[in-house]
Amino acid sequence: MRKAAMALASAAMAAAAVAVVSTVLHQRQRRAAKRSERAEAVLLRDLQERCAAPVELLRQVADAMAAEMRAGLAAEGGSDLQMLVTYVDSLPSGGEKGMFYALDLGGTNFRVLRVQLGGKERRVIKQDSEGISIPQHLMSSSSHELFDFVAAALAKFVASEGEDCHLPEGTQRELGFTFSFPVKQKSLASGTLIKWTKSFAIDEMVGKDVVAELNMAIRRQGLDMKVTALVNDTVGTLAAGRYVDHDTIAAVILGTGSNAAYIDHADAIPKWHGSLPKSGNMVINMEWGNFKSSRLPLTEFDQELDAESLNPGEQVYEKLISGMYMGELVRRILLNMAQETRIFGDNIPPKLERPYILRTLDMLIMHHDTSSDLRTVANKLKEVLGIEYTSFTTRKLVVDVCEAIATRGARLAAAGIYGIIQKLGQHSDSPSTRRSVIAVDGGVYKYYTFFSQCMESTLSDMLGQELAPSVMIKHVNDGSGVGAALLVALFSIPPG
């Protein structure tokens, strides 16, 4: 009996000890969790402070942008902004008629388009297009092979046309070539490649005339077609914007990359040594992705991304605002937080260490999650990074990181637009006398609603209550394709 009582007492004592240990462990875990949450909050607050872009700073960024624009117009190599003369000295009016073609080459895919224009009354009557993927090996083979592949697709596109697409006998097909890589243009229909971007690496093509190469490939296909206008996607978007709204003064691309183009007075371009165009104007391709300034709010994550990129020290502005890089910045920040605070558990998720695995598309989907438990964030973290379980606190932290990067990018993009308006002297005009439209295209602007709304509200804040109503941002869809066809139509009209 006594032995049984002693056994019971021992068991009770053991159970009590286990309970005490369990309580202590639970308390320690709670304290550790609280410490971790405090550390996460400190890291987030530090990130938000370093990404902050108050209006005063944005005005300084805009001032620097306008100054670099003037320097780039003054002399070749005078600025990090190339400020390329495009030889487009007028833009569509809406009266263009006829059937015209466009080729849009700017990445791993290209498109061929056919556009039928019916003048002011009928506008775009019909538009057909076809997208083609470029085999990876052609992106680093030879210019001959690449352009032969493109020309063969053009020939196939033309060969499939119906009776309603036949041109009058003896009429040569005219092609607008949207080539979204840096080129130095020598005329409207010629330009030498400055450098490749976006994973293309055909070294022997650098310094060659891209129009001449394409025209030769078209002839090898036996196709009666020639390039009559060379533009980039931003200039095409500007043309498409002017086609639908005559007050369009500039265009911005916010997609995988970023760039801007605008209309300037030809006599405001000191490096222009040709005769002044009759219109008195000239479209300038800024190549604004290469803008850099000490005023840009950079973090160590931006500096590390830049140092490890294919083009360190270049495209600094683009790396802050474009779809190619914002998702990668979020990944780097989350990796740092995982190392510092164990937000994803004791072990670093292996996939989180993989560069560019988190796309800006994934970032915007998480950022736009409005569910009460942030279930979409949890699903994305599991799907993309292989993270099985996350707490609500961690999911909210991920959303906050996305917001910090998107807010900074959107506000800096607004500062760039304000810099263009400032350069043109329209930031101080009376709102009753001038209306200005900025045409915008690209996946970041089109699909990242938070980004586009933040950019627009920031621009309004910078403009002020009086001027803001006279400046509009308009989404222009497919400017890179239709815009090129419109420019061909414009310049094919005989003078007089």
User: What single-letter DSSP state applies at residue 285?
Assistant: E
Q: In one letter, which amino acid is 210? A: V
Residue 297: its pLDDT value, please? 97
Q: What is the mean pLDDT of residues 435-455?
A: 96
Same domain? For 265 and 164 the reply is no
Same domain? For 181 and 262 the reply is no
Structural domain boundaries, residue 289: 55-86+246-476
Task: Give catalytic status of residue 63 as yes or no.
Answer: no
Q: Could you tell me which residues come within 8 angstroms of residue 279 by beta carbon, excluding any fewer than 6 positions away?
A: 89, 90, 266
- Contact indicator for 328, 353 with CB cutoff of 8 Å: no
Task: Give catalytic status of residue 198 as yes or no.
Answer: yes
Note whether residue 36 is domain-resident. no
Same domain? For 449 and 430 the reply is yes
Note whether residue 94 is domain-resident. yes
Residue 24: its pLDDT value, please? 47
For residues 126 and 103, give the distance between their C-alpha atoms in angstroms, rounded to a whole number.
16
Q: What is the mean pLDDT of residues 232-244?
A: 93
Task: Indicate which residue of 89, 104, 209, 233 is catalytic.
Answer: 233
Q: In one letter, which amino acid is 233? A: D
Kindly report which listed range (153-157, 263-267, 276-280) carries the lowest average pLDDT score.
276-280
Instruction: Name the percent of the chain lying above pLDDT 70.
Output: 89
Same domain? For 384 and 256 the reply is yes
In degrees to the nearest 10, what's the CA dihedral of 67, 73, 78, 83? Answer: 90
Q: What is the mean pLDDT of residues 88-104?
A: 89
Q: In one letter, which amino acid is 453? A: Q
CATH of the domain at 186: 3.30.420.40
CA 391, 397, 400, 405 dihedral sign is negative
Residue 4: its pLDDT value, please? 66
Same domain? For 226 and 282 the reply is no
How many residues are there in the chain?
A: 496
Per-residue DSSP letters for 144-209?
HHHHHHHHHHHHHHHHT--GGGPPPTTPPEEEEEEE-S-EEEEETTEEEE----TT---GGGTTSB
Last residue of a domain, one of 231, 256, 274: 231
Residue 426: its pLDDT value, please? 63
Last residue of a domain, one of 198, 231, 264: 231
Note whether residue 46 is domain-resident. no
- Contact indicator for 462, 55 with CB cutoff of 8 Å: yes
Same domain? For 74 and 142 the reply is no
Residue with the bigger pLDDT between 14 and 388: it is 388
Q: What is the mean pLDDT of residues 167-182?
A: 84
Residue 40 CA, distance from chain mean position:
30
The tens digit of pLDDT for each residue in 114-164 reads: 988 887 777 788 888 889 998 888 988 888 999 999 999 999 998 887 776
Same domain? For 405 and 364 the reply is yes
Note whether residue 236 is domain-resident. no
Secondary structure, 3-state, 265-281: EHHHCCCCCCCCCCCCE
The tens digit of pLDDT for each residue in 314-351 reads: 999 999 999 999 999 999 999 999 999 889 988 999 99
For residues 284 and 86, give the distance between their C-alpha atoms in angstroms, rounded to a whole number.
6
Last residue of a domain, one of 231, 254, 274: 231
Residue 7: its pLDDT value, please? 63
CATH of the domain at 380: 3.40.367.20
- Contact indicator for 481, 175 with CB cutoff of 8 Å: no
- Contact indicator for 438, 472 with CB cutoff of 8 Å: yes
- The bridge status of strand 281-285 relative to strand 258-265 is antiparallel
pLDDT at 28 > cutoff 70: no
* Cα separation values, 455 from 189, 271, 448, Å: 34, 32, 11
Beta-bridged to residue 192, according to DSSP, are: 184, 209
Q: Could you tell me which residues come within 8 angstroms of residue 436 by beta carbon, excluding any fewer than 6 positions away?
A: 247, 249, 421, 426, 470, 471, 472
What is the Rg, in whole angstroms, of the alpha carbon atoms belonging to the chain? 28
Same domain? For 167 and 296 the reply is no
For residues 103 and 112, give the distance between their C-alpha atoms in angstroms, rounded to a whole number.
5
Note whether residue 1 is domain-resident. no
Same domain? For 117 and 164 the reply is yes
Q: What is the mean pLDDT of residues 215-233?
A: 93
As for how many domains the chain has, the answer is 2
Note whether residue 496 is domain-resident. no
The tens digit of pLDDT for each residue in 355-374 reads: 999 999 999 999 999 999 99
pLDDT band at 32 (very low <50, low <70, confident <90, very high): very low
Note whether residue 10 is domain-resident. no
Same domain? For 127 and 209 the reply is yes
Note whether residue 42 is domain-resident. no
Residue 337 CA, distance from chain mean position:
27
Same domain? For 326 and 410 the reply is yes
For residues 233 and 341, give the distance between their C-alpha atoms in angstroms, rounded to a whole number.
43
Same domain? For 382 and 355 the reply is yes
Give the residue among 297, 289, 284 at the shortest CA–CA distance from 423: 284
Task: Indicate which residue of 198, 396, 446, 474 is catalytic.
Answer: 198
pLDDT band at 184 (very low <50, low <70, confident <90, very high): confident
pLDDT at 191 > cutoff 90: yes
Residue 29: its pLDDT value, please? 47
pLDDT band at 491 (very low <50, low <70, confident <90, very high): confident
Task: State both tokens at 458.
Answer: 């920031």
Most confident of 9-13, 38-42, 216-220, 272-276: 216-220
